[in-house]
A and B are shown apart, each in its own frame.
Chain A
Amino acid sequence: MLQVSNAIKRFGNKLALNDVSITVEEGQIIGLLGTNGAGKSTLLKAMAGLLKLDQGSITFDGASPSIATRASTAYLPDMDILYPWMTLSDAMKYMRDFYWDWDPDKTHRLLDYFELTASSPIRQASKGTRAKMKLLLTLSRQARYILMDEPFSGIDPFARQQIAQAIIDDFIEEGQTILITTQEITETEHLLDEILFLYEGRLLLTGQVENLKQTRNQSLLDILKEVYDGARL
C-alpha cells in the first residue's frame, strides 16, 4: 500500500502540493487528473523518489523511500528519458544493465506488439513511436508500482489505443499498482479504477470511477467540471 500523508512541496513562491493525503490500494489503476500545473507531476515525482517533500511523508507498505522501494517502482517521465543518439536496442541494453528485474521475454513481446524495430534510432522516431518505446522500457521491468507521467500526451488516437491496450494487457497479467497522470480524461476513463483530482496542489476529489458515475449519473468529465467550477468560486 502506498500512502501519502500531508504532502507539501514548494517551488519558490508556488505551493505545488498543498497538504495532500492519499492512500493507494494495490492492484488498481489510478488516474491522477487535473489542470496543467495542478501538481500531478510533482506528486508522481515525489512518489518516484525524484523530489523530496518539504513536509509530509510517502511510504510504501509502511516503509520510507529507500533503494529497496525505488527498485519496486518504475517511473515513466513526461520528458524524453531516451538519449537521441541511441537506438532502441541501445536503450534496452542500458535498462537491462541498470535494473536486475529486466524481463527480456516481455520486451520481445512488446516489441512485436508495438511493431517496433530495435535497431531504429530514437532520434528518427515520431512522437507516437517514442511513447511506445518509453512504455516498452517501463513495462519490461517487473515493478510493483508503475508511475506514468502523461503517457498519452500529444499522441494520435491510434497509438493511444495501442498503448492503452498494452497497459491493460500487462495489468491483467501482472496486477501491479499503476498511477497515471493524464489530461485525456474521456479517452482513458475506462482504464481507471480510481481517480485523484488535483487543483492548485489540493486534492478536490477522490473516488472509484464506477461509483462516481453510479451516484451522480454523469460522465467523469462533467463530474470533474462541476467540482472544478465549485473550487474556483
Chain B
Amino acid sequence: MEFNKIEPIYAQIIQDIRLKLFNGTYTLGQEIPSRRELAKTLGVNPNTIQRAYKEMEDMNLIVTHRGQGSFVTSDAAVLAAIREEALYEAIHQSMELLRSFGKSDTEILTLIQSYLKRGASSCSKYLTQSSDLVTN
C-alpha cells in the first residue's frame, strides 16, 4: 500500500479498509490482519496502526475480539451506510470539479442526463484512448 505524505497514515489505512469492504475485497465478518501483522507488513509505526484500529472500532467498522483477532463488521446496515457515504463523497468531489468549470447545478444535471443518453459507444476519441490505457 502506497501512502501519500500529506494525510495522516491512520486516516489512509481506514480509507483503504473501507474501500476493501466497499468493493468486496473484504466480505462482512471477514478477518483482517492483526495490528501487529499490519504494522510489520506495512513497515509503519504500530502506534499509528493502533490509532486506525481504535477509530474503526469506534465507528463500528471493525470488531476486535481479544485473543481472536480483528474482523470487519458483520452488520450489513453498517456496510450500506459506508457505501452510501462513499458514493456521496464521490458525487461531491465530481460536483465540485464540474462547478469549478463554471457550470450551475441545473446545467450539470442536464449534462449528466445527456451523457447517460449518449452511452459509452459514442464517447469522444480522447475518452476512448484513456479507457484503452485503463484496460491495458
Contact = CB atoms under 8 A, between A and B. Distances in A.
Given A172-B39, A172-B40, A191 B5 contact: no
Interface on chain A toward B: helix, strand, loop, or mixed SS? helix
A165 B6 CA distance: 22
A186 interface: yes
A187 to B, nearest CB: 10
Interface residues of A, number: 26
A168 B44 contact: yes
Interface stretch (A1-9, A10-18, A213-221): A213-221
Interface stretch (B7-15, B71-79, B93-101, B114-122): B7-15
Interface residues of B, number: 18
Given A172-B36, A190-B3, A210 B9 contact: yes
A193 interface: yes
Nearest to A27: B47
A171 interface: yes
Interface string B39-65: 110011111100100000000000000
A191 to B, nearest CB: 6
B39 A186 contact: no
Interface of B: 3, 5-11, 36, 39-40, 43-48, 51
Interface of A: 27-29, 161, 164-165, 168-169, 171-172, 186, 189-193, 209-211, 213-214, 217-221
Kindly list the 9 A-B residue pairs having the minimum CB-CB distance in the complex, ordered from nearest.
Answer: A219-B5, A210-B8, A213-B8, A214-B8, A193-B47, A190-B44, A165-B43, A172-B46, A219-B6
